[in-house]
Structure 1
Amino acid sequence: MVPLNFLRQRFSRSSRLRKPYQFEEVKRNGTKYKTDAFWIQGLLVPPQNSPILGIIATRRLGEAVDRNRAKRVIREVFRRNLEIINPSLQIIVLPRSPIFNLSFLSLEQKFIYGLEKISS
């Protein structure tokens, strides 16, 4: 029988930016990279167990269902690529409306390229 923890693929609390001061620190001191589908901003901090992600989906993106869909897709890209992301990186992603026109693979490629840019 497969353990229950193995089946869960959750976006844990320890993997999220949650407090306003955490977002402000990344915004103030982080490196920014822009694509047509999203803006990504990252800050290298002392090493942690895993990278930390924050998503800002504003009303400009669309209705609530659109904002939630964009957040789900970004979380999935982040989760699938956890092993290649620098564990000392705090990331903020701001999705833009062209995110809905991209395939998952092209979005994933842009995300990885953006991470490489902000990590260097």
Structure 2
Amino acid sequence: MAALEHPAEETPRRPESLKAEGLSREQRLRRPREFQEAYAQGRRWTGRYMVLWLRSGEGAALRLGVVASRRIGGAVKRNRARRLLRELFRRERKRMRGDFDVVLVARKEILDAEWEELVAELRRLAKAAGLLPTADGQEKGP
């Protein structure tokens, strides 16, 4: 048997305790129409590193859409910006409330930011948009 061949019973398996941590298909916006509806509703909050758009209405369920335009740079830079935004949302999603679809648009400065700055900005924008409870525990509507 060649060194690279493995019988099926010897194939390494992923431990059961490791679960996929990414966003499922149901947690993502994929259709252009969903993005256009978010833009058309015109509810946006702008930060230094990102712009947060909200879409409410039929089918909205705290899903994420990510945009990184060519202004960010080449494909490698755009992909990095998208990965950063997805990971930010994934980690903060459990704190968020409401039936809204969220579109995060990367700004060029995101590539030079520290992780803590990105977290702070997403929390600030989400709180302003009513996705996070206020300091007194009350939810604020957009």
For normalisation by structure 2, the TM-score amounts to 0.75
- Of residues 5, 9, 23, the one that matches 1:11 is 23
Report the structure, 1 or 2, having the larger helix content.
1
Q: Which residue of 2 aligns with 1:94?
A: 105
Question: Displacement, 1:3?
Answer: 2.5
Contiguous gaps of at least 5 residues in structure 2: 1-14, 131-141
Deviations 1:13-46 (A, max 9, x none): 1111111111111111141111111111112336
- State whether structure 2 residue 89 is matched by structure 1 residue 78: yes
The 1-side partners of 2:102 and 2:42 are apart by: 9
Q: Which residue of 2 aligns with 1:41?
A: 53
Larger Rg: 2
- State whether structure 2 residue 10 is matched by structure 1 residue 24: no
- State whether structure 2 residue 115 is matched by structure 1 residue 109: no
Deviations 1:78-112 (A, max 9, x none): 11111111241211111011111211111011011
Residues 89, 44 of structure 1: alpha-carbon distance in 2 compared, 3 angstrom cutoff: same
Aligned length: 118
Q: How large is the Cα RMSD of the aligned pairs?
A: 2.0
- Of residues 58, 62, 72, the one that matches 1:51 is 62
- Of residues 39, 64, 76, the one that matches 2:75 is 64
Which is bigger in relative contact order (C-alpha 8 A, separation at least 6)? 1
Identity %: 26
Question: Displacement, 1:7?
Answer: 2.4
Contiguous gaps of at least 5 residues in structure 1: none
The 2-side partners of 1:89 and 1:51 are apart by: 5
Deviating beyond 6 angstroms after TM superposition, the runs of 4 or more aligned structure 1 residues are none
SS of the aligned residue for 1:60 comes to helix
